[in-house]
Structure 1
Amino acid sequence: MAAAASFDITSTVDLQEVDNAVNQAQKEIGQRFDFKGAHIEIDFDKAKSTITLLADDDYKLSAVWEVLQGKMFKRGVPIKNMKLGDKEMAAGSAVRRVVSLQQGIPTEAAKAIVKFLKDEGLKKVQATIQAEQVRVTSNSKDELQEAMKRLRGHDFGIELMFGNYRS
């Protein structure tokens, strides 16, 4: 009988790349004509994994968000793992928005992944939740590859990363 092969499903954000993207966004915003004279802030808190956006009005806030998303995409940061919070009023007429960065797979998404694999009818594939990741095991490497293919084709609301493949 063949030994069990496995891989882990994770979802992480490289905080150094986020920091680089925030710095690039700040530099671009400082140079753009449409932001001249505007009070714009982008604060990245590594400890809390949050980015706070502050702008004079809704239009500028959405423009800052678009610039930041573009820089994140160019640096390979998964946009799906960025959860945009609600707009809130700040001092004066300024608007603030907090973006939280999803590190690891949330419990509800992990349960959805396990349920999805069971519902797909892959008989030899077993999935288990391990803290903030999901381990998928099978005796058949072909079944594992099929599971990866099907998982890539389904949207769980976060960016899935496959690694730690063992055979």
Structure 2
Amino acid sequence: MASTYSFDIVSDFDRQELVNAIDQVVRDVKSRYDLKDTNTTVELGDENITINTDSEFTLDTVQGILREKAAKRNLSQKIFEFGKIESASGNRVRHEVTLKKGISQEIAKQISKLIRDEFKKVQASIQGDAVRVSAKNKDDLQTVITRLKQEEYPVALQFTNYR
């Protein structure tokens, strides 16, 4: 009985948790005394969040609230890629926050190289924006997961489809 076990390494986030976090940010902005009259808007798009407010100072505050609410909902800070601050009409500022999803080819190659170099009995294969890791022994897979959690990658990693 020579069955193999496997899991996928992906970079994703819970969309519903992000929606809830954005709702909390909007509620906070409307209720906080220092942000009440700034006409700040926080809008969630398919692949980004748009923050529109009256000054860079207010923008920093809103970003802090966004990070805090996301952290409370177990969303990694690595999913946010803060772009450049743009000027909007009427002395306002707009900020696009890109949501990062999926593992780039470059990072996938780094992960599979690390697995190949350090674990001789484990195979890693890149499949689109995920990495499939397989081995004959479940303990080897557990060791790989532990090792990858020690590394610092620019994306949030999740380990799914463990079988």
Q: TM-score per shorter chain, which class?
A: over 0.9
Q: Which residue does 1:29 correspond to in 2?
A: 29
Quote the Cα distance in structure 1 between the aligned partners of 2:23 and 2:49.
Answer: 12
Quote the Cα distance in structure 2 between the aligned partners of 1:110 and 1:161.
Answer: 13
Q: Which residue does 2:150 correspond to in 1?
A: 153
Equivalence map 1:18-167=2 (5 Å): 18-45=18-45, 48-119=46-117, 121-166=118-163
Deviation at 1:53, TM superposition (A): 0.8
Structure 1, unmatched stretches of 5+, are none
Quote the Cα distance in structure 1 between the aligned partners of 2:83 and 2:156.
Answer: 18
Deviations 1:36-84 (A, max 9, x none): 3112110111xx3210011111110010001011111111222211111
Deviation at 1:92, TM superposition (A): 2.2
- Give RMSD over aligned pairs: 1.3
Deviations 1:68-126 (A, max 9, x none): 1111111122221111111111112211111111122222221221122123x210111
**Aligned residue pairs, count:** 163
Whether contact under 8 Å (1:88, 1:95) holds in the other structure is yes
Extract structure 1 runs of 4+ deviating beyond 3 A.
none
Quote the Cα distance in structure 1 between the aligned partners of 2:85 and 2:116.
Answer: 39
SS at match of 1:156: coil
The alignment's TM-score, normalised by the length of structure 1, stands at 0.92
Whether contact under 8 Å (1:13, 1:101) holds in the other structure is no
Whether contact under 8 Å (1:113, 1:156) holds in the other structure is no
Identity of aligned residues (%): 39
Structure 2, unmatched stretches of 5+, are none
The alignment's TM-score, normalised by the length of structure 2, stands at 0.94
Deviations 1:139-159 (A, max 9, x none): 222221111110011011111
What letter corresponds to residue 51 of structure 2 in structure 1? Answer: L
Quote the Cα distance in structure 2 between the aligned partners of 1:53 and 1:109.
Answer: 29
Quote the Cα distance in structure 1 between the aligned partners of 2:96 and 2:109.
Answer: 27
Deviation at 1:2, TM superposition (A): 3.1
Quote the Cα distance in structure 1 between the aligned partners of 2:28 and 2:98.
Answer: 22
Q: Which residue does 1:4 correspond to in 2?
A: 4
Quote the Cα distance in structure 2 between the aligned partners of 1:155 and 1:68.
Answer: 22
